[in-house]
Amino acid sequence: MNAKKAVVFEQAFDIAIEKAKSVAAEISNELTLVRDLRGRIRIMLPGGRTNLSSEKKTRLEALAQELSESLGNYGFTADRMFLFANDLLQGEDITNSPERLLLGGVEGCKVWLLDRQITGQDWLRGTLPRKTNNLRATFFGIKGGVGRSTALVIWGWHLARQGKKVLIFDLDLESPGVSSTLLPADYMPDFGIVDWFVEDGVGQAEVVEREMVTASPRTEGLVGDIRIVPAFGTKTGDYLPKLARCYADAPGNEPSSWSIRLGRLVSRFEALEMPDITLLDSRAGIHDIAAAAVTRMGAQSFLFAVDSPQTWKAYGFLFNHWKQHPQLASIREHLQIVDAMIPETGREEHLKRFREHSWDVFRDHLYDEALPNNPDAFNFDLNDQSAPHYPWPIFWHRGLQEFDPIGSRDGLDEKMAAEAMGSFMDAAETLLTSAGKDELA
């Protein structure tokens, strides 16, 4: 006799959804799937168990047994399979949790998901409220080493040269690069972002805020200005113990998550500095820092990529995650793919291949199906230059490989910047200007 096949993580969720439909049809038209840190699932219903009729109780017991057996190690025993909000001390905390997400695709019923994760929650949360109305842009790469930080620095300098006041946050805390690229050692402020998070954790962020932002000497003589909030400062001291404490939620009567705290940090310095534009240099990869910078800051997000199977697979994982949660559809309107390392030779063929691969991953996961009766569908053709999948180019240039605006006597090479990033900078300014007008309308 063959042993029963084990249920794996992704199968468990599909099974729970199917069983939830039966519960919705027979017991309650609203329920919450609660998935714990190990991925085990149970179902919470509104009200109390005593409110059910004897007939519904009998049916619920049968459904509990079916669900327990179907989920295998991702379920619970039948007597623990269903929870009731009124019977739990923290029932209201679950039903009122801001992390509870409404799932789509279940007709005639509200099915919610409360997913208890150690990290990654911010990829499923919406934009945080903000008090400032300056433009924001996030520079993000699913993989590192694609010139993301270099591009941010060059564009920031270009904007300052045009008379803009630019505020830059070095959020790549694991591998800070923007700070040291724009600031010589003797220009570094006393403290940085890691110091702010540590002090904020004990309720005294204000003790370091006054010594956290400084101007880059490379903007001297320009019409505009670049102000930088670095990852660390001259008085940061031992960096690693502080870094390890950055990501914790702030305690209190209303604990604050990493992204909420980051939102306060960014808004605080925007209110003090009054920039025309804020640039966020995000950590690469699928980490909570990146999630907050891409999904929660209300920023236009530039998604840096190289044309490799690993890159497209990774973006596919992220996009598919969003696809499963339709309430996050607005995120896709603020995305733009960037072809970050276009080679010196064979450029036309490279761009064609990159565009096709980019379109594939957007079409499969983020674009709506094009239907005649849905003219407002979020859908773009392969060669639509206004589409988020249509790559903005950054051309490989030897000067980018040796980029050192601090060490260079003449500062940033304007000719090199125009040759490598001219098309990107023109498109970015047009897009952000348009986005700013829409927000202020």
**Strand, coil or helix: 174:** coil
pLDDT at position 136 is: 94
Domains of the chain: 9-116 (no CATH), 127-440 (3.40.50.300)
Instruction: Output the CA–CA distances (angstroms, integers) from residue 201 to 155, 192, 197, 289, in the order listed.
Output: 33, 15, 6, 17
pLDDT per residue as tens, the chain (441 positions): 455 678 888 889 889 888 887 887 788 888 888 888 788 898 888 888 888 888 888 988 999 999 999 999 999 999 888 888 887 766 676 777 767 778 765 666 788 888 875 444 555 566 777 777 889 999 999 888 888 888 998 899 889 989 999 999 999 888 887 877 788 888 899 999 999 999 998 889 999 999 999 998 877 778 899 999 999 999 999 898 888 888 777 765 555 778 888 999 999 999 999 999 999 998 887 766 677 888 888 899 999 999 999 999 999 988 887 887 666 678 888 999 999 889 889 999 999 999 999 999 999 999 988 777 777 888 999 999 999 999 999 998 776 666 666 555 555 778 888 888 889 999 988 877 776 555 533
Contact 341, 334 (CB under 8 A): no
pLDDT at position 245 is: 84
What is the residue whose two structure tokens read 């999904």?
295
Tell me which DSSP letter residue 250 carries: B
- DSSP β-bridge partners for residue 337: 303
Tokens describing residue 390: 């249509």
pLDDT at position 364 is: 93
